[in-house]
Amino acid sequence: MPDSDFPEGYHLPLAVGEACGRVRIHLAGLPDGVAAYTVPVTDAEGAARVPVDRKKRLHPKEADLITERPVQPYDPPAGIDKGDLRWVLETGTHRQWASAEKRFGDRTWDTCTDLIRAGGVVVRCDVADIRDWKPRRLYLTRTWAAQAADVVRELRGLPVPFEARQDLVTLIAGIPALEDEATLLAAMPESDPLRVPRGTRTKTTRWTTHEAAIRAACFWYRHQQPGGRRLTEREVAGHALGGTKEWTDASKAAFAALLGCPIDKVLDKADHDIRVRGPLWWTVGETAADARRGYPWVGLPSGGIHAMGDLQHDARGVLVIENADTFQQVCMHCPEVTDRWLCIWGKGSATSGVVAFLTVMSDDPIAVWGDLDAYGVQIVTNLAERLGRDITPVAMTADLYAGGTKYKPDDLDDAKQVAEKMTTDGLPALRGLAQAITRAGGLGCEQETLYDKVLPTLAEQLTAIESPSIPNQPWPGR
């Protein structure tokens, strides 16, 4: 996602115009096939507009260099080194121009110009006037960003073709709905390079996308119980692909094509917002929010609830859940928890909103369920430090970690260093988990992959630490 320096809408398609808050501007010395456009600014109402001065004259202080030619969705410049291409595709929010110069040296401008023309990157420039401008940073276009994860996996090296295809054939065995896909894979000659067989229902030509869709479908067919709890997108990705970050837009589309229906018809996905479920009432005059009856949860303003109205609760404790997907599963499938405990999620367990919400909880027990990885241990530890009180981790044990599905963090070395630090500096109850993560070299285990093990016993774990219920208890400190 863009940082604060990138206005909303900067990932618009390349054919931008004034209606999108941009107009083309003239900058001297631009190469053929490259055009400069204004960068939208946001007005008081949040709408994007063209940057103008007080006399309504166009007055851009920065510009984006964008291709002016029709381009294919992904067609990198001929001759670009695979290592350099991978470096470009691994761009996060953006890369500073100085980083590009360090990477490409004397080839920086020519290489970036080729990438602009190919529709791969946009270069943002500081503009003094039409003759005085200089590049500041670059970022991926929306088209390339959507495919980057899959392409990078291929650039890192595809597996041996026959072995990769045979692995999927073996995985499909016993799933009648996917037998046609196994037949297509098995019919490919052993000597053929690794490519997607013609006729596949995944409707993709990229192997990594095809493989991800097949693996996700195999997990879904084997674990989705008729009439049972619906699996979630992140749960399937965590089990089948070794990490939720491997679940790209392309692989989701291929999965949906393979099953022949929209993905939201077969998998749940948590929407993002602060969320509360449990015995809590917030009133401003008439009832504004009843977290007992809102299904599957109600949204509350993390700061506003303390500034106005009356807040009461009848909870035996507060359960903070790190991930939105997990929060929704508890709300929908654990009434024995939400009837007694106040469950909350707020875009990060240690964010200021969550801390402000929890600070006034007096002596009520606070439990936290987070990811079983180095950063999960760090987040829970940070939350306890910010609150200045005891909190109890649940479903975050070394035993659960040992039997869970592991994933490889993006920065494995950093994850290992954080885990090692947490073995001594982490919350005492989590140091055993930190030691297990350290021994495993920093690998993590996402909580989405542990639903079937944790959800049935979550209420029992919380009962052991809950406080007595006091009906209609006024909100502490009011």
Look at strands 280-284 and 121-129 and give their pairing.
unpaired
Q: How many residues does the chain have?
A: 478
SS3 302: coil
Q: Which two tokens stand for residue 78?
A: 């001929």
Could you give the percent of the chain with pLDDT greater than 70? 82
CA distance 33 to 39: 19
Listed range (61-75, 226-240, 261-275) with the worst mean pLDDT: 261-275
User: Do the beta carbons of residue 175 and residue 222 sit within 8 Å?
Assistant: yes
What was the pLDDT predicted at 314?
82
User: Do the beta carbons of residue 139 and residue 122 sit within 8 Å?
Assistant: yes
User: Do the beta carbons of residue 16 and residue 22 sit within 8 Å?
Assistant: yes
Task: Report helix angle 142-155 to 249-259, nearest 10.
Answer: 80
Q: Which two tokens stand for residue 38?
A: 């204004």
Q: Which two tokens stand for residue 414?
A: 């950093």
Tokens 């001759």 belong to residue: 79
User: Do the beta carbons of residue 393 and residue 367 sit within 8 Å?
Assistant: yes
Q: pLDDT tens digits, residue range 181-221?
A: 999 999 999 888 899 999 999 988 889 989 999 999 999 99
Q: pLDDT tens digits, residue range 9-65?
A: 333 333 332 334 578 889 999 999 999 998 877 655 555 566 666 666 677 889 999
Query: Phi and psi dihedrals of 86, rounded to 5?
Result: -65, -40
